[in-house]
């Protein structure tokens, strides 16, 4: 096991003793942190397990047969997830993304999707309910997810070349099955599926143009993601990063010149670009063009800890409040109060200070634990 790696079962929540006032104030429908960033997006990890061993996320030498995953009793139940979601919605969240690990490994995940799809935002509109998957199980789950009310899907796919793809997923899973799953998801009614490609120098950079050309001919949007220093187990080095600017230059050199598009929302993680003859592509540039100043995302781990940054080292235990038996009629109001207290103190901006002594002083939680 890597000396820098911090197993998720040793993670402890940030020390926090809640002193609830006698009369809890009602949630206002909007919440801002210390940098005046609103709370709009919630990412919920539903499992810490995955059927891939991608080298940049869950490398096999760490996440092997001896690795201690969370026991089922530690995971939030679907009902607990819904209660947390309600509390975040009361503070203005309009988008929820289910992640993992691989979320489709969570038994009966479509039931959770259905439960969440019944919730409404503060303005009465339906939630934007999305899910990120590696695609291995998507083909057999697509219809059930669509019927349950899932709005959108993002598929992680790092190469079209089978040998490179198998090298990256490290479980000998063929790319053809992921592509078939994407087609099946499209067939049952999912529109404009997003395809996420993490680009790592010397590993899959030769697939940049191939991936662009392939997905340019589909209704789906390919998004190139700079290799990030999430967690401590992926051996991240700056030399492994190929910047979004360089990727765009490589596309231009291959006759795929791009022009920028306006963002759908100021809080979008990906910048939008358009090919000259039509079709969209995105770039997530967390390393070279930090977007901390617009980050509106909170994350809930598999066992119910709230993390205010993808690069955080500490989480806040909400599960304890969910399972507190004292005065159950006040439980939801207390969870909302706790979320407000945590978010209003938030000042995370890791990507803007990457490389500084402050940023490097703390170990970071693994992405497979809180979702990407």
Residue whose token pair is 């790092």: 158
Structure tokens given for 138 = 């998507």
Residue 128, φ and ψ in degrees, nearest 5 = -85, 100
The predicted pLDDT at position 372 comes to 64
pLDDT at residue 13 in the model: 45
Say what the pLDDT of residue 312 is: 82
Q: Is the pTM of this model over 0.85?
A: yes
- pLDDT for 357 equals 56
CA angle 372, 310, 31 (to 5 degrees): 110
CB environment 59-70: b (16+ within 10 A), e (fewer): beebbeeeeebb
Compute mean pLDDT per 10 residues along the chain, 372 residues long, and list them: 38 62 88 96 95 85 87 94 97 96 96 98 94 97 98 97 95 96 98 94 96 96 88 72 96 96 80 93 88 90 92 89 88 95 89 63 67 67
DSSP for residue 71: P
**CA–CA separation, 209 and 250 (whole Å):** 7
* 1-306-284 Cα angle (round to 5): 75
For residue 11, the model assigns a pLDDT of: 44
- Residue 287 near residue 354, CB atoms below 8 Å: yes
How far is the C-alpha of 251 from the C-alpha of 240, rounded, in Å?
19
Q: Write down the pLDDT at residue 365.
A: 72
Q: How many CB atoms lie within 10 A of CB 258?
A: 20
- For 38, the 3-state DSSP assignment is strand
Q: Which residues of 307-338 are buried (b: 16+ CB within 10 A; e: fewer)?
A: bbbbbbbbbbbbbebbeeeeeeeebbbbbbbb
What CATH number labels 8-370? 3.20.20.70
The angle formed by the CA atoms of residues 312, 298 and 168, to the nearest 5 degrees, is 65
The CA-based diameter of the chain, rounded to the nearest angstrom, is: 65
Q: What's the CA gap between 6 and 11, in Å, rounded? A: 7
Instruction: State the first-to-last Cα distance of the chain, in angstroms, to the nearest integer.
Output: 22
pLDDT of the residue at 236: 66
> Which tokens in the block code for residue 260?
């920028």
Q: H or E segment at 354?
A: none
> If residue 61 lies in a helix (H) or strand (E), which one and from where to where?
none
């Amino acid at each position: 096991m890597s000396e820098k790696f911090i197993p998720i079962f040793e993670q402890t929540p940030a020390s926090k003793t809640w002193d609830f006032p006698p009369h809890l104030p009602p949630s206002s429908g909007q919440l801002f942190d210390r940098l005046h960033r609103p709370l709009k997006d919630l990412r919920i990890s539903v499992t810490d397990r995955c059927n891939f061993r991608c080298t940049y996320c869950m490398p096999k030498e760490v996440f092997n047969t001896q690795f201690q995953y969370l026991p089922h009793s530690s995971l939030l139940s679907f009902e607990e997830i819904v209660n947390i979601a309600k509390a975040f919605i009361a503070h203005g969240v309009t988008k929820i993304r289910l992640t993992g690990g691989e979320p489709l490994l969570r038994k009966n995940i479509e039931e959770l999707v259905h439960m969440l799809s019944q919730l409404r935002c503060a303005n009465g509109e339906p939630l934007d309910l999305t899910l990120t998957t590696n695609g291995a199980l998507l083909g057999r789950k697509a219809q059930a997810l669509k019927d349950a009310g899932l709005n959108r899907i993002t598929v992680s796919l790092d190469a079209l070349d089978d040998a490179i793809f198998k090298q990256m997923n490290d479980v000998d899973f063929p790319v053809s099955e992921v592509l078939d799953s994407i087609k099946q998801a499209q067939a049952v009614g999912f529109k404009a599926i997003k395809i996420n490609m993490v680009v790592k120098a010397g590993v899959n950079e030769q697939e940049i143009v191939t991936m662009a050309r392939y997905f340019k001919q589909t209704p789906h949007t390919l998004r190139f993601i700079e290799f990030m220093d999430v967690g401590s187990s992926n051996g991240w080095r700056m030399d492994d990063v190929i910047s979004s600017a360089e990727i765009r230059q490589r596309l231009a050199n291959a006759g795929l010149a791009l022009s920028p598009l306006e963002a759908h929302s100021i809080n979008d993680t990906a910048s939008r670009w358009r090919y000259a003859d039509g079709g969209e592509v995105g770039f997530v540039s967390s390393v070279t063009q930090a977007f901390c100043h617009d980050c509106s995302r909170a994350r809930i781990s598999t066992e119910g800890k709230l993390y205010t940054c993808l690069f955080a080292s500490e989480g806040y235990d909400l599960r304890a409040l969910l399972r507190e038996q004292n005065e159950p009629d006040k439980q939801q109001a207390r969870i909302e109060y706790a979320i407000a207290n945590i978010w209003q103190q938030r000042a995370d901006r890791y990507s803007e200070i990457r490389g500084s002594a402050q940023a490097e002083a703390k170990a970071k939680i693994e992405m497979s634990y809180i979702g990407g």
